[in-house]
Structures are given as structure tokens and as C-alpha cells.
Amino acid sequence: SSKCVVKPVWPHFIVGSDVLYSESLIDPLLRGVESLMGPSTVAILANERRCEDTYEAFTRACKERFRVR
């Protein structure tokens, strides 16, 4: 009997633009990004600063979960 080993295939990049509108959506957005990331995946998220409080909360949440540059 032969066994087939399936290795996960992770994306090299995850790119998102204009993806954040509300502070309440930060956690679901970042959980979704995390679920798609592999060990060497780079996520690039760009967003317009509509609300400074939401931007600051988003930045804090990203720094808690990812290595941010």
C-alpha cells in the first residue's frame, strides 16, 4: 500500500488594500490573515486613515500578532 503525504502549500504574499472600516472588524480581519499565513508568508495590508482611533487600534493589534515593519 502506498501512502501519500500532502504538504500544505502556503502563499508567498497576502495583499489587502482598503480592508478596514471599523474597529470591531480588526480581530476578524487579522484572524483571517493569520489563518492563511504560512511560516514565510508576507502580509501587506494598506489602508486609508479614516479614523485615527481605528488606525491606532489596528496598528497595536498587528504588532501583538505579527512582526511589523
What are 31-63's pLDDT values in tens digits?
999 999 999 999 999 988 889 999 999 999 999
The pLDDT tens digits of the residues spanning 28-37 come to 999 999 999 9
CA-wise closest residue to 11 among 41, 35, 39, 33: 41
* Residues 44, 13 contacting (CB under 8 angstroms): yes
pLDDT interval class at 18 (50, 70, 90):
very high
Please tell me the distance from the alpha carbon of residue 65 to that of residue 5, in angstroms, as a whole number: 30
Residues 13-24 as b or e (16 or more Cβ within 10 Å = b): ebeeeeebeeee
CB count within 10 Å of CB 25 equals 13
